[in-house]
Amino acid sequence: MAGYKGRMGSTAAQMVIDNPDFELVGVFDARSQEQNLGEDDRFKGQDVPAFHDLNLIKTDATVWIDFTIPTAVYENAKFALNHGISPVIGTTGMTDEQVKDLQALAKEKKVGGLIAPNFGISAVLLMQFAQQAAKYFPDVEIIEMHHDDKIDSPSGTAISTAKKIAEVRQPKQQGNPDATETIPGARGAEYEGMRIHAVRLPGLVAHEEVMFGGPGEGLTIRQDSFDRISFMTGVKVAVEKVNQYHELFVGLENLL
Ligand SMILES: NC(=O)C1=CN([C@@H]2O[C@H](COP(=O)(O)OP(=O)(O)OC[C@H]3O[C@@H](n4cnc5c(N)ncnc54)[C@H](O)[C@@H]3O)[C@@H](O)[C@H]2O)C=CC1
Ligand SMILES: O=C(O)C1=N[C@H](C(=O)O)C[C@H](O)C1
């Protein structure tokens, strides 16, 4: 479990501990100096080796769960694949090139893995519904809303939603071609003619709305993760299934 000191890592570590079919064999976090998970107040009584340097990790793990940070996840995933460990990656913010590299490495090493921008079933369904709607409504805006400690924006889920929509949407100029921004950035980030807006507020966890507009009508699709427990069903499915494959998938829907 990489990133076990964090919000998602600690939730996922607890999920692994609570699941009788899983065994937590090691934890890793660059922020930690602990030698054992049990030294963390939240995990008292757990005897699991803790590492804080990637190069010093020794483990017989079969699955590497990763909830770290955008600048760490690529090296972590490479480490896992090079050691025959199946990566289950929730960390967002990797470039398309990095993902392609990892997919090639997984194939070469014949190791299964998953990169999922969102393990929540509501988010997976939202992306599928949005893709379906975009065939009929090419005018679309994506609004993602997250807690204010989030590092990357737009969210991995929003980028993934935009990519799925772009696969089916008829490309078009959205809005007035002569529009100006009085304050730069007012119209949000641009992806293939679509706009993505990132909201950061305390009190939020993870939420997304996709708004479609047509002549005289509109459609809004929304999902909410009110609690990080919402991601755990998806992580559990991935941990159970990922060893059955010899390739690195992108998107939880590939394993559902
Ligand atoms: N795929 C999904 O369903 C979800 C993905 N996420 C993503 O998971 C990631 C983590 O999110 P949070 O838990 O909220 O962040 P967080 O900031 O609470 O946790 C990140 C952890 O990674 C550790 N870390 C930093 N650098 C590291 C390194 N080089 N090696 C190992 N550990 C390192 C930090 O010390 C921290 O404990 C983010 O990229 C976020 O977008 C978050 C929620 C759901
Ligand atoms: O940082 C988060 O919290 C989340 N990150 C993921 C993303 O960037 O899409 C998934 C979910 O939205 C929560």
134: nearest Cα among 166, 158, 174: 166
Q: Is 3 helix (H, G, I), strand (E, B) or coil?
A: coil
pLDDT at 172: 85
Q: Any idea which ligand is nearest the CA of 79?
A: 1
Percent of the chain with pLDDT over 90: 96
**182 class by beta-carbon count within 10 Å (0-12 exposed, 13-18 middle, 19+ buried):** exposed
The DSSP call for residue 2 is B
**Is residue 173's pLDDT more than 90?**
no
**Cα–Cα dist 49/86, whole Å:** 19
Q: Mean of the per-residue pLDDT values for the chain?
A: 97
User: Which of the residues are catalytic?
Assistant: 146, 150
Q: In the chain, where are the structural domains located? A: 7-111, 121-226
Kindly report whether the peptide bond that precedes residue 154 is cis, defined as omega within 30 degrees of 0: yes
The residues facing 155 across adjacent strands are none
Ligand 2 lined by 228 (C-beta under 6 Å): no
**Residues 195-230: tens digit of each pLDDT:** 999 999 999 999 999 999 999 999 999 999 999 999
Bridge partners (DSSP) of residue 42 are: none
Sorting pLDDT into bands at 50, 70 and 90, what band is 174?
confident
| Pairwise CA distance, residues 242 & 117, whole Å | 16
DSSP character string of 170-225: PP---S-TT---SSTTTT-EEETTEEEEEEE-TT--EEEEEEEEETTEEEEEEEEE
Per the structure block, which two tokens stand in for 91?
């960390």
Q: Is 3 annotated as a binding residue?
A: yes
Cα dihedral: 127, 129, 132, 135 (round 10): -80
Tokens of 41: 């107040």
> What ipTM did this prediction achieve?
0.99
Range 41-50 average pLDDT? 96
State phi, psi for 108 to the nearest 5 degrees. Answer: -60, -45
Residues with CB under 6 A from ligand 1: 2-3, 5-9, 28-31, 67-69, 72, 90-93, 116-120, 152, 156, 231
Atom of ligand 1 nearest to the CA of 152: 41
Q: Is 116 annotated as a binding residue?
A: yes
Can you list the alpha helix ranges (DSSP code H) found in the chain? Answer: 7-18, 70-82, 96-109, 121-134, 156-168, 232-241
Do strands 113-115 and 248-250 pair parallel, antiparallel, or not at all (unpaired)? parallel
7-40: pLDDT as tens digits: 999 999 999 999 999 999 999 999 889 999 999 9
Residue nearest to atom 18 of ligand 1 (CA): 6
Confidence (pLDDT) at 83: 97
How far apart, in whole angstroms, are the C-alpha atoms of residue 98 and residue 207?
26
Alpha-carbon distance of 112 to 117, in angstroms, equals 17
7-111 CATH: 3.40.50.720
> Which residues, 6 or more positions from 40, have their beta carbon under 8 angstroms from its beta carbon?
4, 5, 32, 34, 50
**Residue 127 pLDDT > 90:** yes
Has 91 been labeled as part of a binding site?
A: yes
The predicted structure's pLDDT at residue 128: 98
Closest CA to ligand 2's atom 1 = 150
Confidence tier at 66 by pLDDT (50, 70, 90) = very high
Q: Report the C-alpha gap between 215 and 154 in whole angstroms.
A: 28
CATH class, domain 121-226, is: alpha beta
The 8-class DSSP code of residue 6 comes to S
Q: What's the pLDDT at 91?
A: 98
